[in-house]
């Protein structure tokens, strides 16, 4: 059995997650071996998924943790060890 490109596209996400049934996976693999377009779509999607998961994409703003601590201290009184925004307060 041979599958067309547009069918392969429907399987790309599950293929990356390795959640396709063995038989379907084999069909997709066989198609990928000779189709440079579908191979490029798979490679680019995998590459984008990897880049998306990188910690550098969304950085915490400077001082986030300190401001959170101060808010926690103010609202729920999580203790005297919390840094204060202005020590002179």
Partner 1 sequence: MITSILAGDTEQYHELIRPYERSVYKMALSFMKDDSDAEDVAQEAFLKAFRKLADFRGQAKFSTWLISITLNEARGRLRRQGLVRMESLDETPEEGSHISPALLRDWREIPSEALERKEVRQMLEEAIGNLSPLYREVVLLRDVEEFSIEETAVALAITTGNVKVRLHRARMMMQKELAPRLKNVSQRRRWFQW
**Terminal C-alpha separation, the chain:** 75
Q: Judged by CB under 8 A, which of 26, 43, 84, 85 binds partner 1? A: 43
Q: Judged by CB under 8 A, which of 21, 52, 87, 88 binds partner 1? A: 52
Residues 25, 35 contacting (CB under 8 angstroms): no
CA dist., res. 4 & res. 6, Å (int)? 6
Q: Judged by CB under 8 A, which of 23, 56, 86, 89 binds partner 1? A: 56
Min dist CB 82 to partner 1, Å, is 8
- 71-83 burial by CB neighbour count: b if 16+ within 10 A, else e? eebeeeeeeeeee
Which residues of the chain form contacts with partner 1 (CB under 8 A)? 6, 9-10, 12-14, 16-17, 19, 36-37, 39-41, 43-45, 47-58, 60-61, 64-65, 67-69, 71-72, 75-79, 81
């Amino acid at each position: 059995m041979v599958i067309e490109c547009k069918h392969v596209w429907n399987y790309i996400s599950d293929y990356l997650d390795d959640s396709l049934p063995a038989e379907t996976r084999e069909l997709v693999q066989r198609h990928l071996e000779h189709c440079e377009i579908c191979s490029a779509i798979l490679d680019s999607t995998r590459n984008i998924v990897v880049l998306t998961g990188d910690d550098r994409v969304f950085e915490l703003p400077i001082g986030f943790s300190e401001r959170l601590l101060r808010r926690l201290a103010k609202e729920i009184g999580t203790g005297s060890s919390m840094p204060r925004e202005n020590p002179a307060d």
